[in-house]
Structure 1
């Protein structure tokens, strides 16, 4: 029961992310910096003191991988978050959810061929993404740019996950997350300063949206998924995360008045089904090969969108 409640809260938290980004009257890069910077600050008291002995090991390979994960996470936020403000919440959320597809293609390039189900899922997801993006070509160039940025964000998320899995082989979730958010926030701050992005002077509603992103999607959602991973499989969590797509679309429709383009809905549905097939196909293949399940503290089904 507690696991079900945790997963429900986590899905609702991550589903609110894209609508909050679209609602915030601030540059997307600034919102990305603040949500990571504030999350880093919130985690510092429970990391620097209690885990100071673990921090001494950050010069190891695991520390390097954690920093590289932070770099990839910065690219993820710097591309996906602008895509939400440039295009529609529904399309941006669906396209960034293709992360497992890119992980499968990266594995294939490394010689780890996906299963038949994996290839079928990749094909379905790519077809769905092409359908949705093709519809946007007839809408505007800005909508297409938003789609491209969301796809780059998905690729960056897959790289983030790959580095994160290697880092968390010896780092706790808290320490890894602290290093990752700190690296991500520092890089985004540099980008904002160089690009002269406004970092302050927002109205109260915008600050409230940023704080809701930090507490909800960044900390609460990620924490609840990690809690659930101690009691259910990473595959189940990865599939449930796909509920973020319809969840974000419904919130954007009810709250922001963003009605999804009807012509794009079949493509978005096909995309979500394809990603689910990829996730389930990968799980079946690991079971058939007798691969041990990843420890709950190592599994990282999705970045904290």
Structure 2
């Protein structure tokens, strides 16, 4: 594993959180079908990364035949499912609720870790319970609003599950692939699948006004290249669970942007549920951090470098 300074990883994660916070408001702002926006943000990011992958990083292309390459492709498929469900949920419902529900990703990440034999701590299970209860509270409020709002909530939850799978697969792929190569494969796979879906579904892929194209380009540069790519970078030094938890910070950021820019004020009745959801994910974070500190202490006591374990 390459030696990456902790401050550099922290900076990458900070940039990523700030960048992805703009994602949901931009999606809601864009006057284009959500699936089309999802295709363009991944397709254009793939094009932007191609000169680097085919140039300075071309020697890594031979490693795509390995297990890491397979994991990268599978991660791209999971990312496509994430975008195909979450992005429509933003346009069908509210930015704040959709962002909060997709932030349950750490909960699903913890369940994936449990299936892999890495059972969450007691605090982790408590946090999962709180987050699920909060999601039920918040989405229950939408039942009395409209069927469209309920559909938006369900799509956001599926998007959270797909994001957890995407991050878990990315953690495996990043063991051998650089950030650029992994991201290029992942975005390319995602864009190809979304293009097929858009063509089969006869989704309009062009003819948008200037403000919509500006929003799409802002998504590519911000949420995609600076957001997702920086999270992918951090996966080489940070666990998938930790990365998923940090994405929680997107919730207040997106809600504030939607309120200030789009005039979307979260429904008061849903706020306690959203608060409980955020608290649950925070408990998952703290529990994971405590387990990692204990593991690091045990490693030092054994005379081993925690980074090599």
TM over 0.5: yes
Pick the structure with more helix per residue: 2
Q: How far did residue 278 of structure 1 move?
A: 1.1
Q: How far did residue 192 of structure 1 move?
A: 0.2
In 2, the alpha carbon distance for the partners of 1:150 and 1:77 equals 10
Q: How far did residue 35 of structure 1 move?
A: 0.1
Q: How far did residue 208 of structure 1 move?
A: 0.1
Match of 1:32 among 38, 47, 52: 38
Q: How far did residue 8 of structure 1 move?
A: 4.7
Contact 2:109/2:241, CA 8 A, preserved across alignment: no
Q: How far did residue 108 of structure 1 move?
A: 2.6
In 2, the alpha carbon distance for the partners of 1:147 and 1:18 equals 14
In 2, the alpha carbon distance for the partners of 1:146 and 1:83 equals 4
Contact 2:127/2:281, CA 8 A, preserved across alignment: yes
In 2, the alpha carbon distance for the partners of 1:94 and 1:299 equals 39
In 2, the alpha carbon distance for the partners of 1:69 and 1:297 equals 35
Cα separation, partners in 2 of 1:86 and 1:289, compared to 1, 3 Å? farther
Cα separation, partners in 2 of 1:60 and 1:5, compared to 1, 3 Å? closer
Cα separation, partners in 2 of 1:44 and 1:216, compared to 1, 3 Å? same
Q: How far did residue 235 of structure 1 move?
A: 7.3
Q: How far did residue 79 of structure 1 move?
A: 0.2
1:298 aligns with: 303
Contact 2:109/2:240, CA 8 A, preserved across alignment: no
Q: How far did residue 59 of structure 1 move?
A: 1.1
Q: How far did residue 9 of structure 1 move?
A: 3.9
Q: How far did residue 290 of structure 1 move?
A: 4.7
Q: How far did residue 288 of structure 1 move?
A: 6.8
Cα separation, partners in 2 of 1:198 and 1:215, compared to 1, 3 Å? same
RMSD across aligned positions (CA): 4.7
Cα separation, partners in 2 of 1:298 and 1:79, compared to 1, 3 Å? farther
CA deviation digits over 1:137-193, x for unaligned, max 9?
A: 011110010000000001001111111111111111110000000000000000000
In 2, the alpha carbon distance for the partners of 1:298 and 1:71 equals 41
Range with bigger deviation, 199-208 or 234-243: 234-243
Contact 1:80/1:96, CA 8 A, preserved across alignment: yes
Range with bigger deviation, 41-50 or 28-37: 41-50
In 2, the alpha carbon distance for the partners of 1:300 and 1:101 equals 29
Q: How far did residue 114 of structure 1 move?
A: 1.4
Cα separation, partners in 2 of 1:225 and 1:168, compared to 1, 3 Å? closer
CA deviation digits over 1:39-80, x for unaligned, max 9?
A: 000000011111111101211111111100000000000000
1:60 aligns with 2:66: yes
Q: How far did residue 207 of structure 1 move?
A: 0.1
In 1, the alpha carbon distance for the partners of 2:89 and 2:275 equals 19
In 1, the alpha carbon distance for the partners of 2:240 and 2:186 equals 20
Contact 1:115/1:285, CA 8 A, preserved across alignment: no
SS in 1 for 2:89: helix
- Normalising to structure 1: TM-score of the pair? 0.88
In 2, the alpha carbon distance for the partners of 1:115 and 1:179 equals 34
Contact 1:57/1:63, CA 8 A, preserved across alignment: yes
Range with bigger deviation, 101-110 or 81-90: 101-110
Aligned positions, number? 299
CA deviation digits over 1:244-272, x for unaligned, max 9?
A: 10110111011111110111111111111
In 2, the alpha carbon distance for the partners of 1:185 and 1:115 equals 37
Contact 1:234/1:299, CA 8 A, preserved across alignment: no
Gaps of 5+ in 1: none
In 1, the alpha carbon distance for the partners of 2:236 and 2:268 equals 39
Contact 1:96/1:153, CA 8 A, preserved across alignment: yes
Range with bigger deviation, 233-242 or 192-201: 233-242
In 2, the alpha carbon distance for the partners of 1:183 and 1:168 equals 16
